[in-house]
């Protein structure tokens, strides 16, 4: 099974900060990685797909990069609406769709 890890688990930041979250896969997943944002009491929302493609309607301050086993999600200038928990997910095969444990971005 492919395992996903994320770091950090919690990140305290201020509005306007540049924020970077790292996701690692236990084996190569090419670019089959998605990033989701989840706010309390809400369903997750897709932000980034295929590691670096921005989902329609998602602000351009969000970007993704990486391939193989190491990936990053960057928020170029953190906005008040961005305080949430972020999850990576691999979708390398139709037999497993493992999520990372999540990174909570809260207010410094």
Partner 1 sequence: EVQLVQSGAEVKKPGESLKISCKGSGYSFTSYWIGWVRQMPGKGLEWMGIIYPGDSDTRYSPSFQGQVTISADKSISTAYLQWSSLKASDTAMYYCARLTGHGFDPWGQGTLVTVSS
Q: Which residues bind partner 1 (CB under 8 A)?
A: 1, 34, 36, 38, 43-46, 49-50, 53, 55, 87, 89, 91, 94-102
CB of 81 to partner 1, least distance (A): 18
Q: Are 87 and 35 in contact (CB under 8 A)?
A: yes
CB of 52 to partner 1, least distance (A): 12
CB of 108 to partner 1, least distance (A): 22
Nearer to partner 1 (CB atom), residue 17 or residue 54: 54
- Would you give the end-to-end CA distance of the chain in angstroms? 36
* Residues whose CB is less than 8 angstroms from the CB of residue 52 and which lie 6 or more positions away in sequence, other chains included: 31, 63, 64, 65, 66
Query: Tokens in use for 82?
Result: 């961005």
Nearer to partner 1 (CB atom), residue 17 or residue 38: 38
């Amino acid at each position: 099974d492919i395992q996903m890890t994320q770091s950090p688990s919690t990140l305290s930041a201020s509005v306007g900060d540049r924020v970077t979250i790292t996701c690692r896969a236990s084996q190569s997943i090419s670019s089959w990685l998605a990033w989701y944002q989840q706010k309390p009491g809400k369903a997750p929302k897709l932000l980034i797909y295929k590691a670096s493609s921005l989902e329609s309607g998602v602000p351009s301050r969000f970007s993704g990069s990486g391939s193989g086993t190491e990936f990053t999600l960057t928020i170029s200038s953190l906005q008040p609406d961005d305080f949430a928990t972020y999850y990576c997910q691999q979708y390398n095969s139709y037999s497993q769709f493992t999520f990372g444990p999540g990174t909570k971005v809260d207010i410094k």
